[in-house]
Chain A
Amino acid sequence: MRSLAYKDSQTLTSSDIENLARRFGGKSEDYIEIVNKQKNTQTINKYALLKEINSDLNTLISSNNSE
């Protein structure tokens, strides 16, 4: 018989982070921002056109900054 195994997720959710912040202090928004950035990077890397546009934009921004 297949046992109903407890699946331990490695990904922190927003509510996990809020709980940690409540317990140990700090601003949960800062951590959620990091999670969002990771999600955004995943989305950009998932789709070829988005990845290309993002790469070109980064090149453009760095060339503007060096001027």
Chain B
Amino acid sequence: MQRVFVKGIKGGLGSTSVVANLACVLKKSDANVIAIDLDAKSDLGLQFGLPWKSTKGWSNEGNFEDALVHFHQDSDGVIFLPFGDNKADQNEIISTINNCEKLDCPQNTWFLFDCPSYIYLERFPLKPNDIVIELINCDAICHSLIYKRLQKLKSSESNWKHYFLVNRYNSASVLEFDLFSLWQSTLPLMAPFFINSDEVIKESTAYRNVALNCAPYSIANDDFETLAGWLVSKAAL
């Protein structure tokens, strides 16, 4: 089993669409994929074709056994668990993460957790084999946040595999090129590639699907295949 936690270093960086697209690409390679929504926005299900009026998820149940009824499977075979429309504190989120380990699933299972940007990773029950993908944009605010995060990671003595991944990279921007080049040669935890800004991601969401199914030859889908291949090389499966 491999756990991957995807979160933005700040809000609105596209962690939900990264989780949905990555899940479908991994599933295509015959892996068993379970995506868990830990974000109170609870919009991961929409990416997998869950009806808009379906609002319930694990947060609506008192315990994980009752939440099992909220697991769904999309047309690609990805299993997912929506957050729901109730509140959940940090302890309940941690409890959900821990309970997922008790699920009876094959050895080659990938758990993808869509995490909100405001959670404190340091308080999560992360293990050395866990992978955390922290999404960033090529902008100066992210530059500031990355260095603050690096200082926190250093002081917390984190032992999980932590990476920064540039999402929505605009190759026409001089600033983005400058920042990406700088980060590539100075930051120790940078993923060696980026996810391009591609209209296909927004369009496929509008069509209630993912880039793999809507535009399999798109730059976006290429990028997610690169991400999936790179994660496989980092995974402990």
Q: How many residues belonging to B are interface residues under a CB distance threshold of 8 Å?
A: 11
Proximity string of chain B (172-213) to chain A, C-beta cutoff 8 Å, 1 when within and 0 when not = 000100110110011000000000000000000000000000
Q: How many residues belonging to A are interface residues under a CB distance threshold of 8 Å?
A: 11
Choice from A40, A46, A49 contacting B143 with Cβ under 8 Å? A49
List the A side residues contacting B186 at CB < 8 Å.
40
In the complex, A53 has a CB within 8 A of chain B: yes
In the complex, A19 has a CB within 8 A of chain B: no
Q: Across the two chains, which residue of chain B brings its CB closest to A47?
A: B140
In the complex, A57 has a CB within 8 A of chain B: yes
In the complex, A17 has a CB within 8 A of chain B: no
Choice from B144, B147, B175, B182 contacting A44 with Cβ under 8 Å? B182
List the A side residues contacting B147 at CB < 8 Å.
53, 57
Are A53 and B144 interface neighbours, CB within 8 A? yes
Interface of B is mostly: helix
Restricting to A26-45, which residues have a CB under 8 Å from any CB of B?
36, 39-40, 43-44
Are B178 and A49 interface neighbours, CB within 8 A? no
Proximity string of chain B (128-157) to chain A, C-beta cutoff 8 Å, 1 when within and 0 when not = 000000000000100110010000000000
List the B side residues contacting A49 at CB < 8 Å.
140, 143-144
| Chain A residues near B (Cβ < 8 Å) | 36, 39-40, 43-44, 46-47, 49-50, 53, 57
In the A-B complex, list the 4 residue pairs whose CB atoms are closest, starting with the nearest: A49-B140, A43-B178, A43-B182, A36-B185
